[in-house]
Amino acid sequence: LYPPSALKFFAPYIRGMHAKDALMPVAGEFKKIEVLPGEGDSDFPTLVKILKEIGYNGSISIENEKFDDPNYEENIQKTKKYLEDLIG
């Protein structure tokens, strides 16, 4: 998870974005829990807003490594709609 200021700082170097989200681990846990973009701790509305502000017009790749999830394709479509709604 990167603060919005980091995105602005690296703006000239951004050539692509991967959309992936997670719930950060709590004390005593070592692994974050992957969830769909918009359901975790990443602030996608702010990230997309900043990408628009800096004139980013590249792709946003949906990253989902849960290939064995029976809802895999549905989750990809849900994420696609979520991102399209944010982009406008």
CB 36 within 8 A of CB 75: yes
pTM as predicted: 0.84
Which tens digit of pLDDT belongs to each residue from 14-38?
999 999 999 988 877 777 888 999 9
Residue 1 has pLDDT above 80, yes or no: no
Q: Per residue in 39-51, pLDDT tens?
A: 999 999 999 999 9
Answer for the pair 47, 4: CB distance below 8 angstroms, yes or no.
yes
The CA distance from 34 to 4, in Å, is 21
Assign 3-state DSSP to the chain and report helix, strand, coil percentages, each to 5.
Answer: 40, 15, 45
Residues in the chain: 88
The residue among 39 and 4 whose pLDDT is bigger is 39
